[in-house]
Every structure is written in C-alpha cells, then in structure tokens.
Amino acid sequence: MAARCSATGACFRAFAAPCARRASAAVHVSSAQQPSSSGGAGGSGRRRGVLQLLAGGAAAGLMGSRSVAAAAAVDEAEQVLLDPQWPEQFPFRPEFFQRYDESSDADFYEQPRFVTHIDDGAIRALTKYYAEVFPASGSKDAALLDMCSSWISHYPEGYTAGRIAGLGMNEAELKRNSVLTEYAVKDLNEDPKLPYEDNSFDVITNAVSVDYLTRPIEVFKEMHRCLKPGGLAVMSFSNRCFPTKAIAMWTSTGDLDHIWIVGSYFHYSVPGGYSAPQAKDIGPTKKGSGDPMYVVFARKQA
C-alpha cells in the first residue's frame, strides 16, 4: 500500500514514477526536480515554501535573512547550521516520514545490489573526509560502526581498527564488505534500537542512507547511547536515492534543506547530548561536475 502525505502527495507521485521503471537503481533528485509551493517560484523561494508547507512555517528559520540558493559558494553548506534558529519543538509531523512505497523494507532490500549509489568523485571525496576524521589506522582500541552498511563502506583503502561493525539490511552485501570485522542485519525502521552496548564506538558513519530513516529521532538517540564520550557521528548524503523509499520530507526539499533536516535530528534527539551539528560540502568544487556530497556531523558531549 502506498502511503501519501496530504501536503506532498502530488510531488511524491511524481518522484515515484521514474523509480517504478528503475526499481533497482538510485536516481538523482536534483534541484530542478523540486516541486514548487504555492507561494514560491524557484530557487531558495521554492525550497523555503516547501519547508514552510511541511513544518507549518516552523522551519522558516532555516533560511533566515540569507539566500541558500543551490548555485553559490561551497561554504554555503556550512552556513545552514551556523544559525539554524531551531524551533522550540521538533517541527516535523509523522506524515513527513511516510514513503511512497510503504511495503516491507526487508523485501525491498532482499536482493543484493553490488553497485555504488554515488559517482567516483563523490566516493573519493567521502573517503578523503573519512581519512581526515577517523582514528589512526591500525589502532586496536578504536571502534567504528558503519550504520546502514552495504558491500562497501567507502572507508580509506587499507583502513583497519580493532573493531569495525557493519549494520545493514542485506547479509550478502555485508559479507562482501572486507573492511568489517563483524556485521549484523537489522531493519532500523522496524526497530531503531542498535544491537550494541553503551559507549561502544569512537565513530558512527551513515553513508547516503539517512534519507530512508522513518524514525530518525529514535535512531539518533541510539547513536548517542552507543557512542563513546566525545565520539563522532557522521551522516553523509548526495542527491541520489531510491525515491519510493526515501521519506516524503526528503524528496520534497533540496540539498541545503537536507542539511537543516539532518542537523535537526542531532539537535532534537538528545537535547544537549550532541555538540552543535555542523555541515560541510565535500563534493566537487565545480558545481555540476558530478554528484554533490555533504556531511553533517556532531560529537557526543553528554
């Protein structure tokens, strides 16, 4: 059964249509595809209108007084979370986390997909970023969790640590992932509890999968529980997805809006528990030269 949110039903159907023909491959959800709201006409005005529609105006602080149109300086991504103007309460209603395809995720991911969902440039950018923030390779005391993992984690070549756990939806894919020291199969949309002890990991990564989480606040609470004090959580994303399985709020907004959305998960999940979330555009410096790549990250501080 396909669930539809009244505020976004039309655009939800529009995004699902091409995916019906390409069910096994991620597709671009570019700025040009974003739906117009009744009060906006393109660019940042369109994004602002969609977020206001989604959150009843509560998320309008995302834009503040500055433009966040998609074709500007690289540091624009960082600016989104410098003064996010978080509403007092989490602004997104349950229907914003519905998907066009509400059928079993286990069935959807049953067949292994040994493909990459971002291009080589984006992969290199993510790997380079990981190399900059990970504990030194070879550290026997270091523990990392690759959440929503698959057959490849995009970790630096030859990277090792005392523990690298993978948590994903397809066992065949996880078995193929040579960087992992262990793995577990779990559907976080069914049960967001992570199967790990408190204070277990120095780093938790999630590559191009945060847009599929239907219970992100619960998942981010669990991430906080499982991180060691001072541990780092890194959420990365591009503009590619399986549109029928991405949440309505994601497919209805643009890249810079996504930064604010992911930042809100850190902010609201454990008040005061994470450092203020930060964002970085790590993609190609020349816009339009390949898949964009963004990271939103924070550390456990309480």
- CATH code of the domain containing 198: 3.40.50.150
Q: Specify whether the CB–CB gap between 226 and 300 falls below 8 A.
A: no
pLDDT string in tens for the chain (302-residue length)? 333 222 333 233 233 222 222 233 344 443 333 333 333 333 344 434 445 555 444 344 444 433 344 444 448 999 999 999 999 999 999 999 999 999 888 888 777 776 677 889 999 999 999 999 999 999 999 999 999 999 999 999 999 999 999 999 999 999 999 999 999 999 999 999 999 999 999 999 999 999 999 999 999 999 999 999 999 999 999 998 888 899 999 999 999 999 999 999 999 999 999 999 999 999 976 677 789 999 999 999 97
Q: Residue 147: which domain range?
A: 1-302
Q: Specify whether the CB–CB gap between 147 and 205 falls below 8 A.
A: yes
Whole-prediction pTM value? 0.79
How crowded is residue 215: how many other Cβ atoms within 10 Å of its Cβ?
Answer: 16
Helices 216-226, 255-269: axis angle to 10 degrees equals 60
Q: How many domains does the chain have?
A: 1
- Report residue 173: phi and psi, to 5°: -65, -45
Give dist(CA 38, CA 291) in Å, integer.
29
The DSSP result for 236-260, as a single string, is EE-SEE-TTTS-HHHHTS-HHHHHH
Give dist(CA 145, CA 128) in Å, integer.
18
Give dist(CA 146, CA 79) in Å, integer.
27
Q: Cα angle at 256 between 65 and 206, to 5 degrees?
A: 140
* Residues composing the chain: 302
Q: Specify whether the CB–CB gap between 110 and 82 falls below 8 A.
A: no
